[in-house]
Amino acid sequence: MKLSAIASVLLLTVLIGCSSVKVDSDYDPKVDFTSLDSYAWLPEPRAKTGNPRLDNPLLTSRIEQAIEASLAAKGLSKVDAATADFFVTFHIAIDQKLDVTTIPTTYGYYGRWGGFYGGSETRVDQYDEGTLLIDFIDRDKDDLLWRGSGQSRIRPTNSPEEREKKVRTVVDAILERFPPKR
């Protein structure tokens, strides 16, 4: 249980922290998004990843609540799956990344003709990057209508309230791109 709590902290902090969140979206240009008024969660159960950092019920609940609040603020209603205009689901992932930085160094002046001698120092920082994908799926055709994503470096947080706030901030940033501006 302790590993799951630590993993939750790490994943939530990837979504936002000291660094900015990279947000992107894509959509089917044939869809009239102004006709979408209601949604339901995709009826299929969420597939387990086998990674306790991702298969965390606390994280899942925070993401679902943030999505529902953001969609409600946009005037969309959560309804029964049989009457929804579209389904909503999300996916989360963690990838290890490398940040390589080379810094030139100089050591001093030499010789009667002048000049500096030195070299460079290379630093490698390994870190985790988290991704949250939010999908809107056509209820009847099962086609992807819209996808929004947010990526950021994982940074630690101290409390459940901070984690909840960070998830809300990321979800709002992603859903700010819905409906798409044409």
102 class by beta-carbon count within 10 Å (0-12 exposed, 13-18 middle, 19+ buried): exposed
Query: Which residue shows structure tokens 């999505």?
Result: 67
Q: Indicate whether 46 belongs to any domain.
A: yes
Domain total in the chain: 1
Mean of all residue pLDDT scores within the chain: 86
pLDDT tens-digit series, residues 61-110: 999 999 999 999 999 999 999 999 999 999 999 999 898 998 887 666 66
- State which residues form the domain around 8: 2-94+129-175
pLDDT at 36 over 70: yes
Q: Answer whether residue 155 is part of any domain.
A: yes
What pTM, to 2 d.p., does this model score?
Answer: 0.77
Q: Is residue 74 part of a domain?
A: yes
| Domain contains 170 | yes
CATH number, domain at 17?
3.30.160.670
At 170-179, the pLDDT tens digits run 999 999 999 9
Q: Is 182 inside any structural domain?
A: no
d(CA 134, CA 131): 10
